[in-house]
Chains A and B, each alone.
Chain A
Amino acid sequence: MRRGNVVWSWFWMILGILYFFLPLLATFLFSLRAKLGVLSFTAYVNIFSDPNFIYNFSYSVLWALLTIIAGILILVPTAYLIRLRLPQFRTPVEFITLLPFVIPVIVYVFSLVRTFSQPPLLIVDSPVLLIAAYTVLSMPYMYSAVDTGLRAIDVRTLTEASQSLGAGWGTILFRVILPNIRAAILSGAFLSFAIVIGELILAEYLVKPAFAPYMNYMMQQKAYEPAAMAIVSFALTWACMGIIQFVGRGQQGQIAAGH
């Protein structure tokens, strides 16, 4: 019985590995075919010398960083206070952070445009709205990651110890709590990063430069360059996950799966 189990385990794992790698391998091979008849990195040279790619991609990275900072500033104090002092707010806050998961992005975008293109709240052209929207979309992941992190440390003792040493709230939050949950925050941060990089419609409808709309546009124009872009964006996600695992070593040892 045991031997049979191992054979089946290998079978499922190999199937999973194939499912996981075949599309990537195909994309990679495809991206090497830019020159007829030979395999070459021409497509990569092309995209990295394409100023539009650099422009859109660096804007996406900038949006992602600002989104992560906004998410940390809004959600870490909230999750911390709920754990420490205000457990009665847990249910409404969790409900709100899960809402973006329920509302389709396409609808959310239209509601945003409609809400913020009228005089009292005329910020539809401002990057602030885009960042706020990205922050909302990444909220379910960021909040659950931060909350998981806080669950793993003794928030109360850390707070009381800092207080008795004379620390103020700012010091407690940013110099005691934050470093202690850095692995959780990083995991939330990278999920947010992946969301911002892959998000197609927000930037498109708010008319801001971003990577995914540009790649979508290139897919209709060219064949090999988008393949190279897919590989680059994948490599980036991969690197992020590597960093999470590296920083999270020894801590809870899991990547918060969001939701």
Chain B
Amino acid sequence: MTVINSIERGAPPARPASPKFSWAWLGLTPFFIFSLLFLLYPASILGVRSFQDTKTHAFTIKYIVQLLHDPYLLGAYGISIKISIITALGGGLFGFLLAYSAIRGGLPSFMRSSLMTFCGVASNFAGVPLAFAFIALLSPSGELTRILIKLGFNPYFHGFTLYTFWGLSLVYMYFQFPLMVLIIAPAIDGLRREWLEAAENLGASSFQYWRYVAFPILLPAILGTMILLFGNSFGAFATAQALTGGQINLVTIVIGSQLRGDVLGDPGVGYALALGMVFIMAIAIVIRTILQRQTERWLR
């Protein structure tokens, strides 16, 4: 439209000249002012406070040092990373199997659209209501527990509790696998039927098709989505808080108690912990970006 070609002698013709000064960027100012005021500026406090003594406001690296040496704080990262990896792998695998069954599994086609709707709802069903739903199902007096007890099997006599690590993992899976289904479905759609037919014509077995064709193509997409799932549970707070009342030392819960100024809390440690989380998430997002480039080569 208003791309004005500045025709100059000797100017390289390869790229169209960039538009002359336009007022269009003015249209972005509401967005930038809004994010600066309500996101970037408050978030920058996180960086500042991590290096600032809570009382004297002097520059210090003691919180970062404490973070790297305190087994309690490192343990919190450990638990958060462990639960995020487990639920990302578990939710990712189950979500993939579900999505593949619905799309390519030979099921009636209405199954696919119902699955997508279910997953759209379930991936947003988190926090307090989700915690409550699992308490109603699997707490010592929950509906399923009562049925199991009637059948002569009390899961609480066999090492299961809803309020510890594995119970929380089970609850997290509820919003993990639907997210996997929603995001991986387009990648499965991108698997061309011709590739299966070509492989079969060349005499490949089902295993060989998966090992040499489908799996290598889908792998970057699967891993990339699993990293999203990792982030999804790494930052979760409300579900764990509502389910365990803050008894599990996830990073987010420790941050909450440090910032809230509990007896032993120090806001500086809280901010340093948060900075560490951002650092871990940044690594995860870089890996995801690399994997995404890999996928795009094959899918469209």
Contacts and interface: CB of A to CB of B under 8 A. Distances in A.
Interface in B86-105: 94, 97-98, 101-102, 105
Interface string B276-290: 011001100100000
Nearest to A77: B27
B252 A26 contact: no
Interface in B54-92: none
Contacts of B41: 115
A2 B106 contact: yes
B300 to A, nearest CB: 13
Interface stretch (A61-69, A175-183, A197-205): A197-205
B128 A200 contact: yes
A54 interface: no
A89 B206 contact: no
Contact of B128 (A15, A110, A111, A215): A215
Contacts of B238: 198-201, 212
Contact of A16 (B126, B177, B235, B237): B177
**Chain A: interface size category:** 35 or more
Contacts of A129: 38
Given A20-B122, A89-B25, A200-B242, A104 B182 contact: no
Contacts, number: 231
A24 B142 CA distance: 12
B139 to A, nearest CB: 10
A85 B2 CA distance: 10
A151 to B, nearest CB: 13
Interface residues of B, number: 81
Contacts of B130: 23
Interface string A171-210: 0000000000000000000010011001111000000000
Interface in B178-195: 179, 182-183
A213 to B, nearest CB: 8
A27 interface: yes
Contact of B115 (A16, A27, A98): A16
Nearest to A70: B34
Interface string A225-259: 01101100110011001101100000000110101
A13 B33 CA distance: 47
Given A12-B101, A200-B127, A200-B241, A106 B116 contact: no
Interface stretch (B5-13, B42-50, B152-160, B215-223): B42-50
Contact of A106 (B22, B42, B206, B255): B255
Contacts of A1: 206
Given A86-B28, A198-B124, A198-B238, A27 B132 contact: yes
A81 B118 contact: no
B133 interface: yes
B129 A229 contact: yes
Interface in A138-172: 139, 160
A22 B81 CA distance: 28
Interface string B125-152: 1111110111011100011100000000
B102 A104 contact: no
B264 interface: no
B129 A230 contact: yes
Contact of B28 (A78, A100, A160, A242): A78
B24 A100 contact: no
B133 A160 contact: no
Given A26-B133, A198-B126, A107 B274 contact: yes
Contact of A77 (B30, B35, B259, B285): B30
Contacts of A255: 116-117, 120, 182
18 contacts: A6-B107, A10-B101, A12-B94, A13-B115, A19-B174, A22-B137, A26-B138, A85-B19, A104-B237, A104-B252, A112-B42, A114-B42, A132-B34, A200-B128, A200-B242, A215-B128, A242-B117, A244-B120
Given A160-B1, A199-B238, 19 more contacts: A8-B101, A8-B105, A9-B101, A10-B107, A19-B173, A19-B177, A25-B143, A27-B137, A86-B28, A99-B40, A102-B231, A104-B251, A107-B255, A107-B259, A107-B270, A111-B45, A115-B45, A198-B124, A200-B127
Interface of A: 1-2, 5-6, 8-10, 12-13, 15-17, 19-20, 22-27, 29-30, 73-75, 77-78, 81-82, 84-86, 89, 93, 96, 98-108, 110-112, 114-116, 129, 132-133, 135-136, 139, 160, 191, 194-195, 198-201, 212, 215-216, 219, 226-227, 229-230, 233-234, 237-238, 241-242, 244-245, 254-255, 257, 259
Interface of B: 1, 19, 22, 24-25, 27-28, 30-31, 34-35, 37-43, 45-46, 94, 97-98, 101-102, 105-107, 111, 115-118, 120-130, 132-134, 136-138, 142-144, 173-174, 177, 179, 182-183, 206, 228, 231, 235, 237-238, 241-242, 251-252, 255-256, 259, 267, 270-271, 274, 277-278, 281-282, 285
